[in-house]
Every structure is written in structure tokens, then in C-alpha cells.
Structure 1
Amino acid sequence: MNSNHPKPAVLVTGADLAHEAIAILKDFDLQYAGAKPTEEDLIRLVTQHDPIAIIVRYGRITPAIISAAKSLQVISKHGSGIDTIDQAAAKARGIHVCAAAGANAAAVAEHAIALMLGCAKSVAPLNARMHQGHWDKSTHKSLELEGRTLGLIGLGSIGLRVAAIAHAMGMRIIGFDPFAKSVPNYLQCVRIEEIWKQSDVISLHCPLTDENRNLINASVFAQCKDGVVIVNTARGGLINESDLVQALRSKKVRSAGIDSFSQEPPPADHVFFNEPGLLLSPHIGGVTADAYVKMGCGAAQNILSVLNKK
């Protein structure tokens, strides 16, 4: 670029970006919002730097932020879920919204399997008991997953990776996704009601929309098998959290592995905390060193792809 002209700005709603992604965006002035940017922070930064693009790591991109970013042409998600971006406000301005689709698929799929196994094998409670000096060999029985039915909600890149791993473990796989284009022959597509009725384990891999908020609730639990295992590495709003706790207490749900919450981070008095049968992680399913690089590069490449078409 001509040194007499300032580089166009790209705002990163986080404290850092992978070196590989920074190299892709070498012709841009990268500005960082920090690890926990508020709406006020982001409005101030876009007003100050007038970015041509935003890479979304943390926080929400609201209509007020979009309105304040006068030169904004593209909002690029550092990951696959774009529900933290107000897409209607972006569309009204003609601003492209992109996702680094599939960049963290392996990481999230592995974490979903880890939570499923952790729930089935009681890994966390048995570990805690061992450290307390207990030996529960004569009283504890884990859940064997071979031959059990795994029900998947969402058959995108993550859901299909989970299916492949579970198939290798000898599980029967059923799935629901009205947008699925092709599925392997070991996966049977069914109506969503059959997911509830047939599954021994239910794993969520769909985006959060207004239509599917609280998708899993008390009425759904009533249709499920007794002792079902629930895994959510997608979005917290897909599960009614109070209903899940009641289902755990009634033993309708054997255990649940939860990586996403309706409010993040959850408040100190959240209904999940100190609830037996819950295996919790802080929305880190897609957070690995490898995924960090892949998501950053994907977000950067998406920016270049949009701007190069202008």
C-alpha cells in the first residue's frame, strides 16, 4: 500500500489474534478491544478508528455499534456462530456478515464427545470421590455407550464429526436437521420427535434462533427415555436451564454436559452450580491452540474475500 495513505482499520473484539491471521491482514491497521469489551467500549472504538471490518471474538455487535461504524463493510466472526451479531442491522446497511465455518469443528466435536463420555462414565464425581479417599468399585456402575442411540440436533460440520466418532464407538446414530444436504449411510435422519423418544444421548449442534429458543424444555423431557444424557456444546439458550435441573433431580436426565449458558458468564447464583449430575465447562469447546489459528485465519480470509469483491 502507499505509505502516504493510512492503512484501513480492522477492529478485533478481543485482546489478540493468531500471528498467522495478523500476517494475512498485514495491509490493515489492527485495533484490539480487549478481552471483555462492552457495547460502550465498541462504540467508542469504532467511532475513533472507523474500521472497514470487525473481527468478532467477544461481546455482541449491536445496531448501535453498527450505526457508529460509518465505513464498516464486513463483520467477520472468529468462529462459526453469528448469533452475537445483529444481522438485520448489518443487512440494512449492506454490511456482509461472515463466519469461519468449520474452523473449530474438530475442537467442538471432540469436546462434545468428551462431555458425553464424562457423563456416561461419571468421570468428575468419581475423581472427586477418589481424592476424598473413597473406593466406589463395588457400588458404581457407568453407562456403556456401545449399542446406545445418539440423537443429534444439527448435522453440520460439527454434528457430522460427532456422528463419525460415535459410530466408531458402536453407537446407533439418528439425527434431525431440515437443512442437511448429505449424511453418511450410518446416520438415519428422523423427525425431531423421534430424537426425544429414541435417544439415550442427545447432543445439540444447531445455531440459536428465535424459533428454537428453549428447544429442550419440560415437555420435551417428558417425551425422553428415563436416564437420558444431554450434551450441549452449541448455545445455552437452546435448553431451558431450570427445566433441565428439575429433570436431573427427578432422574429423567441421568447427567448433562454443558458448555454453553443462557448468560455468559453465568451469575454466581446460577441454578446449575453445585447441582449433582452436571458436568460444566466455560464455553471452551472450540478453544484449542489449533482452532485459535484456524478461526483467526478463516475470519481474516473472509474479510479479504469480501473486500476484494468490492
Structure 2
Amino acid sequence: MIRILANDGMEKVAIDALVEKGYEVLKDHLEGDDLLKEIKNIDCLVVRSATKVRKDLIDMAASTGKLKLVIRGGVGIDNIDAAYALENGIQVNNTPNASSISVAEMTFGHMLAISRKIHLSNVTMREGKWEKKKYQGTELYGKTLGLIGFGRIAREVAKRAEAFGMKVIYYDICTTNDHGKSVCTTKEDVLSKADFISLHIPYKKGEPYVIREKEFEIMKDGVYIINCARGGVIDEKALIKAIDNGKIAGAALDVFEKEPPTNELIINNPKISLTPHIGAATVEAQGRIGEEIINIVDEFFNKKN
């Protein structure tokens, strides 16, 4: 029987479906030595962002050769040493289609929050304050949205931006095809022309920040920046500096360099809207992730058999 370890949890419907198909699914979250010991007996490891699949875990799995598949329930695989896994005969898959709409909607939620100061007025209202004149915002209509990266999620964001009457420009190293009204341009052009900038790019360990001090300097004064992609693509120290000097009017972060974040200059900054990495945390997205995992497992092990 194929043994699957859902180490960071999985929707019950998906677990039940896998069990019904004849797979054994282990649901306990294991860490440290417990995970290293159990991985030798697992055929398929399913993780979210909590479990790190690094060299030591891969080496232990490779000692028996039983582990053949690692699935990341989500888009990014930066918590998995994918190249090293492949070198050791372990396939790595993600579920790229499942959470695109959820993250796109989160991006728009943050855009609205920082442009209309919803994140602030919600808090002060609960403190008994009625600061109606303090929270004058700005409309999205007629503004230019710049997207850095133009994969599935960014394209969903672009569709919604057009419905809001925004002009969409984007930069992507891989995209050359036409995508509706969105205009492909250079990274520098996006940074210099956009009123709102949203990041939709992966984090690559060991590489420099995508948005650093020099990128902030290119941007318009009073720009808004949103990151619902990955922590580590924005230099948080440079972000604070850009907010303090007025370059950035507001920022929205669902992801951070360190999670949970400990930088109080980020946590307590009134110009930053914060959420705890919940871009894909919707009922619908989790259901779709479960469906994709089932399909990946079935396709992989049916081929093996």
C-alpha cells in the first residue's frame, strides 16, 4: 500500500478520497528526528509551507529509496530543495492552479485597504475614535497598476484591475504573449509609471532582493506596493526607509522575510496593511488544492504501477 504523509494537514474530503482509492494517509505533523525516522517509510510526502524539505530529510529518504514524490500544496516550492530531490530520484510537484483566484482577491483586498485606509480606520473605530476627516483615501479608478511577474495569479489580478478601471502594465521574464488589455514592458518602466505595484514572483534563496533601495528610488512618489507572493523579494529595511521619506504612501504585506515577523518597524507601521500569510486560505482554494493533490498522486503512482 502506498503511504502518504500529509505533514502539514490536508482537507478531510481529500484524505477520505485518497483512503477510498486505497492509499494509506498519515495525518500527524512530525518534526525533527520524528520526521527523519518516519520519512524512510513514506512513498509520498505532502507539505504546505511549514515543513522544510531540505538536504538532511532528502538524504534520509534516499537511504531507503522509498520516497518517490513530494507535493507542495500551494504554488511556491521555496521550502523544498527541489533540484536536490530530483537528483535523488524524488519528483517534486506543486498545485499551481488551486489558489490563483484566492491570492488575487487577497491582493485586491490589500489594495483597497491601503488606498482607503481601511486597515487603520477599522482599528481606531474599535478604540472608540471617530476620525472621519483623517482618512481621506485615493481611488483605484484611472490609476496604473504595475505587476512584477505575470503568471496565473497576476493575470487574475489584471482581470480584476481592468474591471476597476485601472490601466495594467507588467513585467515578466517569461511572458511574451498578448494578455488582453495588459501591456508588457520593462521592469524599470513598471516601477517608474505605476501608481500601485504588486509582486507576483518566487523567492529564490541566496539571490538578492527584487525590490531594493535602488528600485524604490525609481518609483513614483506616493506609490503603493503590495506583496502577497513571497517574503524575501522585498528588502524590508529599504521599504521602511521608503515609507519614512514619503516615496511609498502605503504598503501591504501578506508575506515576510521572517515568518512570523518580528520587525516592529514593520508590525507597528500605520502605513502598512498586514495579514499572516493567508492569501490561499479560503475554503474554495483548499478544496481545489485537495483535488489537485489527488490527481497528482493518482497520475504518478498509476504510471509507476
TM-score, with length taken from structure 2: 0.92
Pairwise CA distance, 1:247: 1.1
In the other structure, the counterpart of 1:53 is 44
The DSSP-based 3-state class of the residue aligned with 1:309 is helix
For residue 132 of structure 1, the aligned residue among 100, 111, 127 is: 127
Q: Does 1:62 align with 2:54?
A: yes
In the other structure, the counterpart of 1:43 is 36
For residue 279 of structure 1, the aligned residue among 269, 273, 280 is: 273
C-alpha distance in 2 between matches for 1:130 and 1:270: 23
In the other structure, the counterpart of 2:286 is 292
In the other structure, the counterpart of 1:19 is 13
Pairwise CA distance, 1:212: 5.6
- Aligned positions of 1:1-310 closer than 5 A: 7-25=1-19, 26-34=21-29, 37-47=30-40, 50-57=41-48, 58-69=50-61, 70=64, 71-180=66-175, 182-210=177-205, 213-267=208-262, 269-310=263-304
**Is contact 2:261-2:267 (8 Å) kept?**
no
C-alpha distance in 2 between matches for 1:300 and 1:41: 25
C-alpha distance in 1 between matches for 2:35 and 2:11: 17
Segment drifting more, 123-132 vs 274-283: 123-132
Segment drifting more, 218-227 vs 9-18: 9-18
Q: Deviations over 1:117-171 (max 9, x none)?
A: 1010100211223333433333432011111110011111110000000100000
Give the RMSD, CA atoms, in angstroms.
1.8
Residues 1:240 and 1:87: Cα distance change in structure 2 (over 3 Å): same
C-alpha distance in 1 between matches for 2:237 and 2:133: 33
2:43 partner letter: I
Residues 1:27 and 1:59: Cα distance change in structure 2 (over 3 Å): same
Greater length-normalized contact order (CA 8 Å, ≥ 6 residues apart): 1
Q: Deviations over 1:34-81 (max 9, x none)?
A: 2xx53434213213xx11111112221111111212301111111111
**Is contact 2:15-2:25 (8 Å) kept?**
no
Q: Deviations over 1:177-221 (max 9, x none)?
A: 121263423100011111110111110111112486411111111
C-alpha distance in 2 between matches for 1:40 and 1:236: 27
TM-score, with length taken from structure 1: 0.91
**Is contact 1:33-1:45 (8 Å) kept?**
no
Q: Deviations over 1:2-54 (max 9, x none)?
A: xxxxx2211112144331343035311111242xx53434213213xx11111
Residues 1:54 and 1:183: Cα distance change in structure 2 (over 3 Å): farther
User: How many aligned positions are there?
Assistant: 299
**Is contact 2:70-2:93 (8 Å) kept?**
yes
Q: Deviations over 1:257-310 (max 9, x none)?
A: 10011122223x543121120111010000111111111221221122122222
The DSSP-based 3-state class of the residue aligned with 1:300 is helix
Among the aligned pairs, what percent are the same residue?
A: 32
Residues 1:203 and 1:301: Cα distance change in structure 2 (over 3 Å): same
Unmatched runs of 5 consecutive residues or more in structure 1: 1-6
C-alpha distance in 2 between matches for 1:24 and 1:11: 12
Unmatched runs of 5 consecutive residues or more in structure 2: none
